[in-house]
Amino acid sequence: MHELLAQVLTNRDLSRAGDLFSIDDKNLVTDISEVLSKIQEIASASDFTQNDNNQSVVEICITRVTSAIRDTGTIEQHAPAMVSLLESCLNHDLRPLPKDEDPPHAKIASDIVSCIFLNHSKKSVMKLALPVAVKFLHRGNKELSRNLSSYLSLAAINNADLLAVHVQPIIDSIISGNYSLTRVLPQIYIVNKEPIHEHVMALVSLLPQCENADKLSLLNLFSLIAKHKSSLLESNLPHLSECLTIPSAAASALQIFLDMAAVRPQSFTEHVQKMKMAAELQPGTLILVARILGIIGKLNQERAKDTLEFLIAHLGKVDQWTLMALLRVIKSLTDMYPSLLPQYLTSICNQVEPSASSNIRIYLQQLKMDCRASKNQQIVNQTSCGITIVKVGGVKSDHTNGTPSPFNCHIPPILPHSSNKTVHNGFQHSRSRHNLPGHAEARSMSQLGSFQTINRSMGRLPSSMSTLYYQSASRLSSPIGLHTSMMRLGSSSAMNRSMTAVNYKNVTIPIAGISSGGVTVMTTMSTPQKGISDSMPTLQEEGPVTVSIGNAQPVSGNESCGLRSSQSTSTTTSVSPSFSIPVSSAVTSHIVSPPTATVAYSCNSDSIPNAKLRNTSGVTVITHSGSQSSSNPQRISVFEPYPMRDAVQHFCEKHLDKIKAYMVKVFVKIPLPVRCTIEERKARKHAKIYFACQGKGEHCLYNKTFFIMKTRNPRVWIHLMFLALQARASMALSTREASVSSLKNCWDTLKADNKSFLTLVTSAFPSAKDQDTLINELRTARFFDVFEYNGPLNIWGCFLCNHPDRARGFLQDTQPVIEGQLKEKKGKWKIFRRWRTRYFTLSAGHLSYRGSQDEKEVQPIDISQIRSVRAISSRGRNIPKAFEIFTNEKTFVLKAKDSKNTEQWVQCLSIAMAHSHSKDL
């Protein structure tokens, strides 16, 4: 070892340490490993953290050694010694000192890490250093972890396979708040996918907390996951869709959506509006949005129509490159649904042609050719079959390959049971017989048989019901605002190719009802005096709504079609705390019912007597017998006994087990409110939450009252209340449930965070940070003075229910609850107040004090006169320094001997106040 180095390290000679920089690197390089071993020996001494001289010597020596290694490029030679010194630092406390200074071993580790990771491209060095370096992520030093995260990001470029072995501590560090480390995850994912798959939901939930650069790193990771296994991200789409409003993250989020939509486009139907808004606010994302909507549009014709209208509206606002992309999507949709092209082609040409380039003109020409081909095909379809028209009175007219009758689109086709058809005239009882030729009958049956594709559930009807089935299907084709699932019945082109047309006014069909596939179609036919367009069907939607406000009645008599609904806004929500965890009792409170709306369209209708029920092959058929009034119009009613699931129900169904497991853990730490109310004062809204005691013992502090607290975190509380409801339920809840609807009304009334209720309840579960915030809020409100969790019973009970043996002190005057010396701040003027020692005693219903233990008591303070007790904490800390007692007349500022004694006094006073108030009720 060089003589000067030996002198400085052996004698800890700080005065000569500065001379080390005058030695040439070549004279030091052979001794570096030995010097590092000597430094490790000095730093491992027990008195090193208290010896400032030794710390300075070590710091100077490390600076000189790392400088020599960097200049001579000998890191690979001395890497084992450097890693050994780095690992020795793990044996010491690296947490920052009270003055936010790094301890000496943290400084050594920081210098060594900096030197090692400057050579991140050398695999042999990284192989030695990475296993040790990742251990510093969980040593409680945020600054060191942040610096190390930057170095690991560099190392991941060429050494992702080495980092992949340590993915678990890396993810743990990210979840605990070290978000800058997210930059290494995309490189690790390429090498080792499965460990990251297990934490996708947790990583998605971190997006709102991350800075923009870290958001992009996570979105880059999710993009890789979407390409490999997109199903993992489907449950997190509501959370990902929030990134669409962030300019820097919108493009990355849309790229993820594009990859996922290619696999399962159905998942994105709920997010179409958000994507359109993103395209409006950020025109640069229009191409991505158009491609996603193009995929969604291929699901059905309605979606395609919606997408075409959106894209055509933007054709005149974009540049040539974007225009080409939009036209490409438009052409793909019109290729799938050619019938849509004619109605939009004119609008496309008007916006595009004035400034169209040669390439775009080629696209327009192709669209025009497709449009002509579509029209020609429609003409062929309409004229390719024969038509038979039967008129009243038996007059027959046959046309083969003729022009369609103008009545054809209005008259329901009737499928005969045989070649013989009987038609009754309401004025004459004459009979006319109609025989179809053999080939015409075969073609007619073939065309009418195509109706089976209209609705598969109706295909199961018995042959005896075929006439009724086709009659009902035709009725549903009229544009009367039916449910979309029923409108499809009339969409088939076979409706326009019916082979038989009958004069409608003289046809009498028996009354019947058909139920199939969860939809009941009731058809009533008689001899009407009005045309089809004069009679309107009655639509009524019904479902399993538990609670309703008011009774909405349909419009009756001769009133025109209208809408009636009953609505109310609720700002009170009640949640029972007894969910999957065994709870001894539940608090019953007023539940405000969710608003329900009954929609009824009605016109002239008479009651139908003598209904009979028949069930055939899984289809419920209702027949009616008796006289029929000639003025009774035809009527169709559509019922939905099982309403469609909403997004909340879908989310809960998918994550039911996770919700229950999560709430089991949360309930041990955080009590659940039984009610939430929203109050508005001076145009500001505040949320109040109510807690109840679940013990309900003999001396319960909250047997008739609640612990009421105003909260600044309504988002987290309402989210937890919803999760508690779901954890308590055996099946997935929907927004139709009374309790969920009340929670939704509560949230909508508050209008916090500009988030919808759907976004709130389908977002990531409240994080550990959110839970800590709630616990601190409860602690500040002195909740834990009067409540505590009872582990054996799995309940949150008040102090006296959990400790009935302590009730005697609060009930009897002879036994004090707590007593001792307290310092009281006295003085007329605030700036001249001084602390004076008093002897205080708290027993039963009053608080008394005197100058010393032997003196007489001053007039005691009645506990019922105390309005509140507040702990005074040190600045920025939760440790109480003193406490204040507020009565109707004055305020007492008191200080105990230490913080623990202060906590005891505040707790006892809080319990005494609660007990006094419970007696007054």
Q: How far apart are CA 678 and CA 81, in angstroms?
A: 64
pLDDT for position 811: 61
Contacts of residue 410, Cβ cutoff 8 Å, sequence gap at least 6: 504, 532
Q: How far apart are CA 397 and CA 324, in angstroms?
A: 53
Tens digit of each residue's pLDDT (9 = 90 or more) over 839-879:
887 776 677 777 665 555 666 777 777 777 877 765 555 55
pLDDT for position 839: 81
Average pLDDT score over the chain: 72
Residue closest to 201 by CA, chosen among 252, 237, 149: 237
Residue 593, pLDDT above cutoff 70: no
What domains can you pick out in the chain, each with its CATH number?
Answer: 669-799 (no CATH), 812-920 (2.30.29.30)
First to last CA, the chain: 86
Q: Tell me the residue type at 125.
A: V
| Cβ–Cβ < 8 Å for 60, 18 | yes
In SS3 terms, 564-594 reads as CCCCCCCCEEECCCCCCCCCCCCCCCCCCCC
Least confident of 105-119, 293-307, 399-413: 399-413
Query: In which band, very low, low, confident or very high, does the pLDDT at 680 lie, cut at 50, 70 and 90?
Result: confident
Residue closest to 72 by CA, chosen among 84, 61, 82, 64: 64
pLDDT for position 117: 92
What is the mean predicted confidence (pLDDT) over 726-752?
88
Q: Tell me the residue type at 129.
A: A
- Burial bucket for residue 397 (CB in 10 Å: 0-12, 13-18, 19+): exposed
Q: How far apart are CA 699 and CA 701, in angstroms?
A: 6
Q: How far apart are CA 93 and CA 48, in angstroms?
A: 12
* Residue 916 half-sphere exposure toward CB, CA atoms < 13 A: 20
* Residue 726 half-sphere exposure toward CB, CA atoms < 13 A: 31
Q: How far apart are CA 847 and CA 886, in angstroms?
A: 13
pLDDT for position 398: 42
pLDDT for position 879: 58
Whole-Å CA distances, 589 to 575, 684, 703, 786, 917: 8, 26, 13, 21, 20
Query: Going edge to edge, which strands form the sheet with 707-711?
Result: 572-574, 675-681, 684-691, 707-711
Tens digit of each residue's pLDDT (9 = 90 or more) over 899-913:
778 888 888 888 888
Which tokens is 44 given? 């491992």
What is the mean predicted confidence (pLDDT) over 663-685?
89
**When comparing pLDDT for 455 and 666, which is higher?**
666
| Cβ–Cβ < 8 Å for 357, 318 | no
Query: In which band, very low, low, confident or very high, does the pLDDT at 819 lie, cut at 50, 70 and 90?
Result: confident
SS3 category, 415: coil
Whole-Å CA distances, 679 to 76, 572, 683, 905: 68, 10, 10, 32
Contacts of residue 319, Cβ cutoff 8 Å, sequence gap at least 6: none
Q: How far apart are CA 862 and CA 867, in angstroms?
A: 11
H or E segment and range at residue 86: helix 75-88
* Residue 829 half-sphere exposure toward CB, CA atoms < 13 A: 2
* Residue 61 half-sphere exposure toward CB, CA atoms < 13 A: 32
Q: How far apart are CA 283 and CA 317, in angstroms?
A: 10
pLDDT for position 435: 41
Tens digit of each residue's pLDDT (9 = 90 or more) over 241-281:
999 999 999 999 999 999 999 999 998 999 999 999 999 99
Q: How far apart are CA 769 and CA 176, in angstroms?
A: 9
Query: In which band, very low, low, confident or very high, does the pLDDT at 89 lie, cut at 50, 70 and 90?
Result: very high
